[in-house]
């Protein structure tokens, strides 16, 4: 398992704090990607999560707050690979996370931040994918994308 995925898995369950307080771990993720001027956990933070996990694993992220910044980051993949970065379209913007498998119907299982205001694994249809990316210079895993137990479909990434 890739180091950034191990790190990302350790944050499953992390969520935004409702109200005037903000989760300090999410604020640290903004700092990790050199966007420390963002001082809340309501700003869409999927790219901060992906970037922080990459940075903490010693890989330079896009260092940008927009999910679509990952569309040209790293190396392009024609198909998803276990641990790759995946960029999605959504109404009003984009979304980014890590592919950690697929369900039996071929939907992608994505470990990401700001998925229903938390870090979790959700299912996404491949029809929403705009890019699969891999860190430049890092050897890719060999083999097919693993089939895992189904997950609930993502309903909110904003």
Largest separation between any pair of C-alpha atoms in the chain: 46
What CATH number was assigned to the domain covering residues 3-134?
3.90.1720.10
Integer-rounded Cα radius of gyration of the chain: 14
Tens place of pLDDT for every residue, the chain, 158 residues? Answer: 899 999 999 999 999 999 999 999 999 999 999 998 999 999 999 999 999 999 999 999 999 999 999 999 999 999 999 999 999 999 888 999 999 999 999 999 999 999 999 999 999 999 999 999 999 999 988 888 999 999 999 999 97
Residue 100, phi then psi, degrees to nearest 5: -125, 15
* pLDDT value for 1: 85
CB 115 within 8 A of CB 154: yes
pTM of the model: 0.96
Q: What is the pLDDT of residue 91?
A: 87
3-state secondary structure of 57: coil
* Secondary element (H or E) of residue 73: none
Ranges of each domain in the chain: 3-134
């Amino acid at each position: 398992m890739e180091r950034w995925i191990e790190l990302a898995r350790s944050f499953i369950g992390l969520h935004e704090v409702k109200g005037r307080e903000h989760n300090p771990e999410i604020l640290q993720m903004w700092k990790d990607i050199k966007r420390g001027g963002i001082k809340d956990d309501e700003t869409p933070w999927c790219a901060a999560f992906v970037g922080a996990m990459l940075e903490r694993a010693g890989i330079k992220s896009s260092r940008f707050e927009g999910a679509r910044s990952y569309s040209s980051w790293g190396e392009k993949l024609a198909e998803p690979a276990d641990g790759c970065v995946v960029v999605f379209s959504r109404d009003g913007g984009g979304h980014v996370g890590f592919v950690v498998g697929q369900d039996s119907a071929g939907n992608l299982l994505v470990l990401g931040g700001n998925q229903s205001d938390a870090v979790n694994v959700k299912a996404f249809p491949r029809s929403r994918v705009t890019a699969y990316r891999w860190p430049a210079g890092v050897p890719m895993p060999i083999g097919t994308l693993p089939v895992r137990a189904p997950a609930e479909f993502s309903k909110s990434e904003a």
